[in-house]
Each structure stands twice: as C-alpha cells, then as structure tokens.
Structure 1
C-alpha cells in the first residue's frame, strides 16, 4: 500500500469517526443528558464546587445555548460526511473542539480530557492534510479590496495603522489597569471572615471590592476608613 492510499484511508476514517462521535454529544445536549446539574449541587457554596460541577452548572444554565452548541456540532457532522464539504466542516469542528479541549483541561474535567485530545488530534490531522490550500486561501489570495479599489486618500494614510494599533493596545491596557486599581482595589480586610462570636446573628462577613461588604446575603453596605495620625514627643 503506497503512502497516498494509506493517507486516503486514514483521512476517510477520521472524517467519519469525528462526524459520528460528535453527533452523540449533540444529541446528549438536546435530550438533556449533558450539561445537567443534579439537585444535590444546588446547596453547595460556589467555592466548594469542583471544576466539573461548576462547568456543567454554567453551561446548563441556558438550555438554548446548549442547543446552539448542539446545532453547530450537527452541522459540522453533516459537512464532514461528504468530501466536498470537508473543509468548512473541519474548520467548524475545530472552532468548538479546541474550546472544549481547553475547558476540559482548564477546569480539570478528568473524564473528558483523553477523548477530547484524541478528537482534536484527529481533527488537526484532517485540517493539516489540506493545509497548503488553507494557506493559499487565507494568506496568498489577495484581500477583498485592493489598493486600486480604495480612495487615494485612504492609501496615503494607510500606514497610520502602524501607529494606531500599538496605541490601541497600550491605551486599553493602561485604561483597564487604571479602572481595576480604582474600582476593584482590595483593602486590608478584603475576603471572607468567620465570626467567632456564637451569639451574633451572622456567621460570615464578606468584604468585597470598592470597600463594600455583605452579611448573610441580606445586608450590604460600604465602609469608610479614617486615617488616624498619632503625635507625641520624640526624645
């Protein structure tokens, strides 16, 4: 068996395997067997949830969002079943599959990491099998509007982007950093505190950003600090 024929068999196997397996995940979302949170999770504090519980609760909060993901998976499956539509199918597949892989590793979902890695590697094999065509389409082919299609004044000032782009990057970084320091700064009490006074009406006190506080999810407010200057004789 020559290399081209082996490549064909492997490429076809990967296409059908990806298209088949992703359908099971799509129907699981539609029928509610995926992104379903068990009632025992509802009473747990958010900080005590595992990565799996937190992810499943978050994605399962909106049923129509799960349907959107399922629809994308079904469309990619249908596209991968046919040779002529494999290219858009594999791009769509990788668009959500890489995100799924990152979620599995970032939130430490042990039961899904291995298979998600296999699906991603197989999808990358299908993608890189025609990598030269993707390079030609996305990089070598000229853009939609050429210089002669644009007004002359646009061509003259087009180099301004080399100043504008760094300005936008640096500007927004500094802006967000300033806003963070101003509105999300932490004082010396920031965090959750346990009340050791058993006679008190609350067990925990939470000091949040902007010098705000919350007690038992019922009371909230803002605290202020006064600077005390002590003076005395210096010997």
Structure 2
C-alpha cells in the first residue's frame, strides 16, 4: 500500500469535508436557524436554564456577532478548498473550532459534541500533515528584527525580560487574589435566602452587598450593604440618604444548617437557603 498516496487522499478528503460542513453552520447563523431561543425560554429564571439554552440565548442576543462568526467560517471554508491557501485556512478554522469544541463539552450541548470532536480531529490532522512548513515558519524563521537591527543598548536591556516576566505573573497573581478576597469573598451568608412567609428573596452578594426581591418580581425593591458580627446582622439600604432610615433591617440572627432566623425588635423572620 502506498502510504503517501493514502495520506494524499485522506488529506484531500478532510480538507473538502471540513470546508463543506462549516459552510452549513455559517448559513445557519446567517438565516438564524442557529442561536435561536424558543419563546418559552424568555420566561424562565436564568438559574433554571440548561447549558444549551444558556449558550443559545447568549450567542443569539447579538445577530451581528453571529454574523461575524459566520463570515469567518465562510472565509476559512474558501481557503480550505485550495491547496495553496490551506495552511492559513486550517489555522483560521481551528481558532473557532477549538472554542466550539470546548463550549460544547463545557456547557453540555447534547448532539453537537460528536461532530465538534470529529471536525477538530480532522482539522488537527490537516494541520499536522504540514508540520514541517509550520515549524519552519513559526519557530525556525528568524524574528522580524534581529540583534544586528537593534541598538546595542536595546540588546542589553532585553535580558530584563527574565525579571519582568516573573514580576508580571507574580504581581498580577497577588493583586487579583487580594482583590478577590477583599471584594469577592464568600461568607456564611453568601447566596439566596427565601422568606418562608412572604416568599421574598434575600440575596447576599459580593462585597457585602444585598438585594431583596418580592415574589414574582425581577427588579429589587431594596438593595445596599450589610454588616454582621457573631450574632447580629444589619442591612443598610442605599436608596435613602437619611441615616435613621438607612437601616432597613437589624437584629439578632441564628444560622442553623440551611435556615436563617433573624429576630428584630418587632418580629422574627425565618429564611430558607435556596442556593
């Protein structure tokens, strides 16, 4: 068996198969048969949406964004149909195909995983079939500006990057982790609690902020910041400028499993953790 000829046939088949299939996905976006949410989805709470519904609604929110993806797919398809432009075509193809593959598995898009995996593997086969040319261009070819093109001072200063790069990594790691602990830290209240009597939902959120929503209403009617000690909890509303009326709720609390019992001067309210 002539392996080189078999490689040629398989390589050509993969090129045409990839180019043909991706056109169908491109036109599906243009004619809005893809990324289209059903009317019932709009009435569901976001927390109840499946990965498929969430993804389709998100990508379908902007038609022109889907159109950009479709044009990119068509361009990659046209490039793959011709041998001389296959290299740039397959690189362009993989830039969105790998993202699609990851999205299908991350958001559990049923019925799409198999095809996405097949197209990605075929694209990798086409790419790696030409690995010598790619290796030569991306690795072995000299950089645009060589040492002889740059001032001597710049060549000497280039060694600073071995200090600069670790500083950037460590610096941003410390900065972001510090900001996360300060503003995104999760305490024992963090989450959504529902009043067992009124069905109002109390949301304890990042940066010690809170929101309260009435039953069947999406807009909050109270929001602000909260403070707490070992046994007391205070909700401070931001919708008023008066210091006296700024305290929306204040009292002693008890956390027992998924129950939050808040006792004020006038009443005792019980909340159940929803999430």
Q: Give the TM-score normalised by the residue count of structure 1.
A: 0.93
**Other-structure match for 2:67:** 67
Segment of structure 1 superposing worse, 185-194 or 171-180: 185-194
SS in 1 for 2:37: coil
Structure 1, residues 105-128: CA drift from partner, whole Å, max 9, x if none? Answer: 111112100010010111111101
Judged with a 3 Å threshold, the aligned counterparts in structure 2 of structure 1 residues 228 and 17 are, in CA distance, closer, same or farther, namely: closer
2:226 to 202, 219, 223: 223
Cα-to-partner distance string for 1:22-75 (whole Å, 9 max, x where unaligned): 000000000000001111011111111111001101111111110010010000
How far apart are residue 2 of structure 1 and its match? 1.1
Larger strand fraction of residues:
2
Aligned mate of 2:207, from 203, 207, 210: 210
Shift of 1:194: 1.4
Q: CA deviation at 1:187?
A: 2.6
Aligned residue for 1:223, secondary structure, equals strand
Partner deviation per Cα, 1:176-217 (whole Å, 9 max, x = no partner): 0111111112232110001101xx3x5211110111111113
Question: In the alignment, what sits opposite 2:85?
Answer: 85
TM-score normalized with structure 2 length: 0.80
RMSD value, Cα: 1.4
Matching of residue 179 in structure 1 with residue 179 in structure 2: yes
User: Structure 2: how far apart are the matches of 1:81 and 1:142?
Assistant: 30
Task: Establish whether residue 55 from structure 1 lines up as the match of residue 55 from structure 2.
Answer: yes
Which residue of structure 2 aligns with residue 232 of structure 1? none
Determine helix, strand or coil for the equivalent of 1:86: helix
3-state SS of the aligned residue for 2:223? strand
Which blocks of at least 5 consecutive residues in structure 1 are unaligned?
230-235
State the shift of 1:226 in Å.
Answer: 4.6
CA distance in 2, matches of 1:106, 1:186: 24
Q: How many residue pairs end up in the alignment?
A: 226
| Structure of higher RCO (CA pairs closer than 8 Å, 6+ residues apart) | 1
SS in 1 for 2:202: strand
Residue aligned with 1:111, SS: coil
C-alpha distance in structure 2 between counterparts of 1:169 and 1:37, whole Å: 41
In the alignment, does 2:121 pair up with 1:121? yes
Bigger drift between 1-10 and 21-30 goes to: 1-10
| Bigger proportion of residues as helix | 1
* C-alpha separation in 2, matches of 1:73 and 1:196: 52
Which structure 2 segments of 5+ residues have no match? 214-218, 233-275
- What residue is the counterpart of 2:109 in the other structure? 109
